[in-house]
Amino acid sequence: MKPNFSLRLRIFNLNCWGIPYLSKHRAGRMERLGDLLNLESFDLALLEEVWSEQDFQYLRQKLSLTYPAAHYFRSGIIGSGLCVFSKHPIQEITQHVYTLNGYPYMIHHGDWFCGKAVGLLVLHINGLVLNAYVTHLHAEYSREKDIYLAHRVAQAWELAQFIHHTSKKADVVLLCGDLNMHPKDLGCCLLKEWTGLHDAYLETQDYKGSEEGCTMVPKNCYVSQQDLGPFPCGIRIDYVLYKVVSGFCISCKTLQTTTGHDPHSSTPLSDHEALMATLYVRHSPPQQNPTPTQGPAERLPLINLLKEAWTELGIGIAQARWWATFAGYVIGVGLLVLTLLSVLVAGEVTSDVAVLLWTPSVGLILGAGAVYLFHMQEAKGLCRAQAELQHVLGRAKKTQELGLEPQVAELLGQQAENRVEQ
Amino acid sequence: MKPNFSLRLRIFNLNCWGIPYLSKHRAGRMERLGDLLNLESFDLALLEEVWSEQDFQYLRQKLSLTYPAAHYFRSGIIGSGLCVFSKHPIQEITQHVYTLNGYPYMIHHGDWFCGKAVGLLVLHINGLVLNAYVTHLHAEYSREKDIYLAHRVAQAWELAQFIHHTSKKADVVLLCGDLNMHPKDLGCCLLKEWTGLHDAYLETQDYKGSEEGCTMVPKNCYVSQQDLGPFPCGIRIDYVLYKVVSGFCISCKTLQTTTGHDPHSSTPLSDHEALMATLYVRHSPPQQNPTPTQGPAERLPLINLLKEAWTELGIGIAQARWWATFAGYVIGVGLLVLTLLSVLVAGEVTSDVAVLLWTPSVGLILGAGAVYLFHMQEAKGLCRAQAELQHVLGRAKKTQELGLEPQVAELLGQQAENRVEQ
């Protein structure tokens, strides 16, 4: 049994916009970020888009006294961009790289090269086990024609599953990061419903910061109107989410965001706004019913979300298969052209043109081959997520058919086991 | 508190060697495998190398009455080859795809295209939570010059971490699969020490089967001498590993393997031998000391293993960086040649030869670019695993310096928390 105590946790989250050579005033912003973190002395600072490991090493050195523990999550070709600084010793570290993360040929978007991931830290604070997750999902470049929607939904599901399966013995679960999803987006709702995580912005008793909790605001000089798309007043895509197990209760005393400008400087810390939350974890007597069951009314949203996600992934699978088939046809045409060119060269008819056409033909075949393999793998990845959703839906249906109400809750409400007692 | 009970679990594991068009007598072997599984009615059948989803669907249909629950783990371009058939309902499913899995240009080995993974099933049997894992690690094509050693060690570490972080609330943990590692290989020892899993072959009270538990034996007509390398009598690379948490005890009553031939047929079921284990899980009074601490003597092997794995990964990182640097030079040379050719073509000097050399030059640059990116990503993946090992070693060192013996056990002996009470 845990002792009767109250724990205050001060959390900082920021997408740092730290792209070497491309992000404006990077060095200066990193320096000011370090100063702020040292001054405020949070329990945990979770950062995204620290793309340069040198920036991490700079911060590590600068913060070494205030935050003795730090970790940089490496993945992909460029890196995950994720790192953490902690006042408390980090007991355990692991990470999970998302199966799907955009397309390698969308070089100008670049997400594929980053190896987007979720990092996990296990901390023991005053005998309490805290699982802190930090993540960054695929960006949304166009809300109207979002070609990455299926990937982002799959990432949200993988994130929810990773948290669900790795946090079963944690007392407190904390997820911070840039989800690249608005609060009511499918992936965001699915994540919150499946894990039982609560949104600090919606739960806090005292909010100070940008309007409606937005983390990308037009006031920020690094944010263009294009970044905000059809939301000129700003968007909320960065989050502090949390939950505790039965026996504890958690509350968000204060939540603060930066507001697009730094009072001590002419430029803000990043193109995103920082989130600063103060959470209180207290001991609370165990509930009489230790496994809270959800009534059908409360369960319905989750089932609907699972179905909606299943459909969205299905659209993604159809598209992936279309591209694989198209690439297959291109390979066929390329091989045909190559054979024809070989015949022409062998027959010494128009050999110059034939030789000139060799390069694009071989390139076409190799390129189409790579596209084919990539989309086959994409379809497999989406099918995998869809099969997991199907499994959950199948079990819910079977149990409902049998009329076994409590078991439905057990199956679908596992995410509710460790729900917050507010 | 769990009830006072005894549970018998009958487990089947087989690497099925089910490569479409390449594996001999595949259809007939799948049919006989289905017959055997139906006849024996195991609790769980965990299969590897079921590369064709059609084979899985065939088995699913054939086994639907005996094993109502089944799942196929999709990943990579071809698939993970992993699937499971269960007599008991599957509560939850998830999977983790290994970050590193060989090289795409080693097409004749093909592992890279498979997306090797570990699959997790959560079952609730008589109120007991069973986490069953099935996996298949990268093959070892040459023991003398094993270019995949660092990848396999990284996979073993990722597997150990995945089990460690996802099984914290499980009563029984079971891992079956083709680890492609001998019992005393670094990765195998690291996996067992970090997770606390026990080897059914070493623990069983009654063993029947091939000599020394080998799962690839010369008697098997599908096994060539080349497959066995310097071990003409056979190798043991497939495993049934298990553990229970405090409050339960587990024993392996019987372990049986096939012996290279099927008494009812002229050919065996696969090129690997099947493993059939009968495990007994019983309730046992909680230990007086609920967190068993390991003395320095017992902890030493784990620290040594972590150090050895760290070194092995370091060698892999150096090699990956060497290849990335080499590819970088090739890109440079390719660009130089391309510039020279452009100048020659522009100057209309030896334009025919110049045009002919364009194709290989462009191909060289693109190929070297892909190799560069791949090895950069490989280095990142190996660094990630090395950083996790470094973190564990660092914490051990720090605690030893402080002379805090019990904490060392807490830090390093986390894997021992749920150790089997034999």
Q: H-helix or E-strand containing B174?
A: strand B172-178
Round to whole Å and give the CA distance between A331 and A367.
9
Is B72's CB within 8 Å of A387's CB? yes
> Which region among A141-145, B1-5, B85-89, B124-128 has the lowest average model confidence (pLDDT)?
B1-5
CB interface of A with B, residues 342-371, below 8 Å = 352, 355-356, 358-359, 362-363, 366
The average pLDDT across B23-28 equals 94
User: Six-digit token pair at A224?
Assistant: 């263009």
Q: Are B283 and B2 in contact (CB under 8 A)?
A: yes
- For chain A, how long is the longest CA-to-CA vector? 91
Contacts of residue A176, Cβ cutoff 8 Å, sequence gap at least 6: A11, A13, A46, A132, A133, A134, A135, A239, A240, A241, A275
Q: What interface predicted TM-score (ipTM) does this complex get?
A: 0.91
pLDDT range class, residue A325, cuts 50, 70, 90: very high
State the CB neighbour count (10 A cutoff) for residue B216: 23
Say if residue A416's pLDDT is above 50.
no
Could you state, in order of their start, the residue ranges of all structural domains in chain B?
6-283, 296-402
Say if residue B362's pLDDT is above 80.
yes
Q: What is the pLDDT of residue A400?
A: 74
Say if residue A103's pLDDT is above 80.
yes
pLDDT tens digits, residue range B226-252? 888 889 899 999 999 999 987 899 999
Measured between CB atoms, does B73 come within 8 Å of chain A? yes
**Residue in B51, B52, B80, B99 to test binding to A, most A beta-carbons within 10 Å:** B99
Q: H-helix or E-strand containing B130?
A: strand B128-136
pLDDT range class, residue A246, cuts 50, 70, 90: confident
**Residue in A82, A88, A92, A407 to test binding to B, most B beta-carbons within 10 Å:** A92
The average pLDDT across B142-157 equals 94
Q: What is the pLDDT of residue B108?
A: 86
pLDDT tens digits, residue range A178-190? 999 999 999 999 9
Measured between CB atoms, does A393 come within 8 Å of chain B? no
**Residue in A94, A95, A155, A317 to test binding to B, most B beta-carbons within 10 Å:** A94
pLDDT tens digits, residue range B266-313? 789 999 999 999 999 998 876 554 444 444 444 568 899 999 999 999
Measured between CB atoms, does B387 come within 8 Å of chain A? yes
C-alpha distance from B95 to closest chain A C-alpha (Å) = 9
Q: What is the pLDDT of residue B359?
A: 74
CA distances from B322 to B99, B146, B376, B419 (A): 20, 17, 10, 42
Q: Which of A186, A267, A285, A152 is nearest to A219 (CA)?
A: A267
C-alpha distance from A169 to closest chain B C-alpha (Å) = 6
Q: Which CATH architecture has domain B6-283?
A: 4-Layer Sandwich (3.60)
> Which region among A127-136, A311-320, B43-52, B396-405 has the lowest average model confidence (pLDDT)?
B396-405
The average pLDDT across A160-181 equals 97
The average pLDDT across A360-383 equals 92
Would you state the torsion angle of the CA atoms of residues B178, A76, B309, B275, taken in this order, to the nearest 10 degrees? -10
Q: What is the pLDDT of residue A401?
A: 74
List strand residue ranges (DSSP E) for A80-193, in order. 83-86, 90-97, 117-125, 128-136, 172-178
Task: Provide the 8-state DSSP code for B212.
Answer: G
Measured between CB atoms, does B86 come within 8 Å of chain A? no
Contacts of B117 in chain A (CB under 8 A): none
CA distances from A212 to A163, A215, A231, A234, A357 (A): 27, 9, 12, 9, 58
Q: Which of B98, B92, B97 is nearest to B71 (CA)?
A: B92
- For helices B405-412 and B296-346, give the axis angle rounded to 10 degrees: 50
Q: What is the pLDDT of residue A107?
A: 85
Say if residue A133's pLDDT is above 50.
yes
Measured between CB atoms, does B373 come within 8 Å of chain A? yes
Say if residue B134's pLDDT is above 90.
yes
Is A377's CB within 8 Å of B76's CB? yes
Measured between CB atoms, does B318 come within 8 Å of chain A? no
SS3 category, B17: strand
Between strands B198-199 and B248-257, the pairing is unpaired
Average pLDDT, chain A: 88
pLDDT tens digits, residue range B385-419? 999 999 999 988 877 777 654 444 444 444 444 33
> What are the catalytic residues of A?
272
Round to whole Å and give the CA distance between A157 and A164.
10
Residue in A75, A93, A380 closest to B77 by CB: A380
> Which region among A19-23, B167-171, B360-364 has the lowest average model confidence (pLDDT)?
B360-364
Has B96 been annotated as catalytic?
no
